[in-house]
Structure 1
Amino acid sequence: MVKRSAAPTPTDAELDILRVLWDRGGSTVREVHDVVAGLRDIGYTTVLKQMQVMHQKGLLTREERFKSHVYAPAQPRSATQRALAGQLLEQAFGGSARSLLQSALAGRRVDAEELDEIRALLDQVQKKGQS
């Protein structure tokens, strides 16, 4: 049985690119650059190189369409978020979900609607654990 290696952890700059692609879908380097350049000062060739490296790392897929390369995320947003959250949970909180949640909620104002959503998620997790 072949063990599949996990996708590499994206850097902050790579996450900027992934967010654009998750929001827009498959896009050319020019399209991604136009969005990212609106957020921070970055050159086209820098975005091109980052996307080429991300493709090599397995973070992006690439296909040729009308003589342009169109890039797309290799993983859905939710899978990447779960992996990053899991890493943070282990590295910063020693695997304690309670400590993570306490820190997240203590650090900012949370409205009643968001608290209700968190309670509902906790109820779902509890039901899954009992079944």
Structure 2
Amino acid sequence: MTNPDVPAKPTPSELEMLRLLWQLGPAAARQVHEAAVETRPDMAYANVLRLLQVMHAKGLLSRDESTRAHVYAPAQPQDSHQSSLIKDLIHKAFSGSGKELVLAALRGHVSKKDREEIQRILNGDKAGN
């Protein structure tokens, strides 16, 4: 049984569907498919529908069955789900050290512009003034 306080870990394909639903808002499988084929033209409607059904069974999505075309929505807000994934990554890959995660990200995965913005945030100047 799925614990609603501990979200299931999505596969890469499931994360792709979550990203689409976070952008679209609650949507029917047809709408999700139309959005998916913009970046993955090979994505079949049946695959999207099956993926949404599996994600619902895993507790990653809620499903409104009040209309003929079921409407799917993420079970958790984007920031909450991302925080959970980051917490898991910190635990598994960085021995529980958030500092090590940040340092690893800054070592070559951040542009100069992003570094400057991060520095402003660290200095307490969120508006960039």
Normalising by structure 2, what TM-score? 0.83
Q: Does 1:69 align with 2:65?
A: no
Distance 1:67 1:4, change over 3 A: closer
4+ residue runs over 6 A deviation = none
Distance 1:94 1:122, change over 3 A: farther
% of aligned pairs identical?
40
Which residues of structure 2 form unaligned runs of 5+? 125-129
1:15-55 Cα offsets, whole Å, 9 max, x none, are: 11111111110101011011112222211111111100111
AA aligned to 2:70 is: H
Distance, in Å, in 2 between the alignment partners of 1:4 and 1:28 is 23
AA aligned to 2:57 is: Q
- Judging by fraction of residues, say which structure has more helix: 1
Normalising by structure 1, what TM-score? 0.81
Distance, in Å, in 2 between the alignment partners of 1:109 and 1:45 is 38
CA contact (8 A) 2:4 2:59 kept: no
Query: What secondary structure is seen at the aligned counterpart in 1 of 2:62?
Result: strand
CA RMSD in angstroms comes to 2.0
AA aligned to 1:103 is: A
Which residues of structure 1 form unaligned runs of 5+? 125-131
AA aligned to 1:38 is: E
Query: What secondary structure is seen at the aligned counterpart in 1 of 2:53?
Result: helix
Q: Does 1:98 align with 2:99?
A: yes
